[in-house]
Amino acid sequence: MTTADRLDLRGGHPAIDLVNTVAWRGDDARRIDNLVDYSDVVAWCRHAGVVSATEASDVMRAARSDKDSAERAVARAKRLREALHALWTDGGSAALATIGVEYRTAVQHRELRPVDGRVAWMDRTRSVFTPVDRLAVAAVDLITEIRCDRVKACDDAACGWLFLDSSHRQNRRWCSAADCGNRDRARRHYDRVRG
């Protein structure tokens, strides 16, 4: 079991949770990248519901016989992750260009098929790129459906995690009120008591 498959999924969407696979983004001394290798990417995608257990097993088997493609898939996942982070924290066309490249690559591996009386995008075949392809499609689905300012950074600057603010007044402050929120409240209480 890797750390990646135990990460809290606080973002509210797999694309945001992908960005949150970097822990303590705002604190270089504590910063941790939880997607070190292909098994981490697959374990996290399984945990986040991007792939099923069977699909995870299939793509891991494919990765063992094609290590170069597995390394490229990890690089693609990280490129997508960093572009999404840049989009939601800085904006800019460079981030959108990278996301667009990943999306166009992903849709090349997909086709439209009838499913239960509807039409859906489906994987042509399952490959080492399937998890990243699905993340790219999910990311574009999200960024084209919501306003970018609905994705917010945790008020704990060291945390660096992002979340989809679905609160009624759009005033959520922390990725987790029980974690970062409590730490902030304790810090403010300590400062008041100290005087």
Interior CA angle at 73 toward 69 and 77, to 5°?
170
Q: Give the confidence band of 127 by pLDDT, cuts at 50, 70, 90.
A: very high
Contact 48, 138 (CB under 8 A): no
Q: Which CATH architecture has domain 4-194?
A: Orthogonal Bundle (1.10)
Whole-number Å distance between alpha carbons of 92 and 83 = 10
Residue 158: pLDDT band with limits 50, 70, 90: confident
Is the pLDDT at 195 greater than 80? The verdict is no
Delimit the domains of the chain by residue range: 4-194
The pair of three-digit structure tokens given for residue 153, joined into one six-digit string: 């950074």
- DSSP-derived secondary structure letter, 178: I
Q: Worst-scoring range by mean pLDDT, 11-15, 86-90, 187-191? A: 187-191
Model pLDDT, residue 156: 86
User: What 3-state class would DSSP assign to 4?
Assistant: helix
Tokens of 36: 């070190």
Mark residue 36 as left, alpha or beta (left: phi above 0; alpha: psi -120 to 50; beta: remaining): alpha
- Binned at pLDDT 50, 70 and 90, residue 189 comes out as low
Distance CA 35, CA 78 (A): 8
d(CA 3, CA 182): 23
Tokens of 106: 């992903």
Per mean pLDDT, which range of 33-37, 114-118, 161-165, 187-191 is the poorest?
187-191
Distance of alpha carbon 169 from its chain centroid, rounded? 25
Tokens of 51: 């792939």
What is the model's pTM?
A: 0.90
Asked whether 44 and 35 are in contact (CB, 8 A), the reply is yes
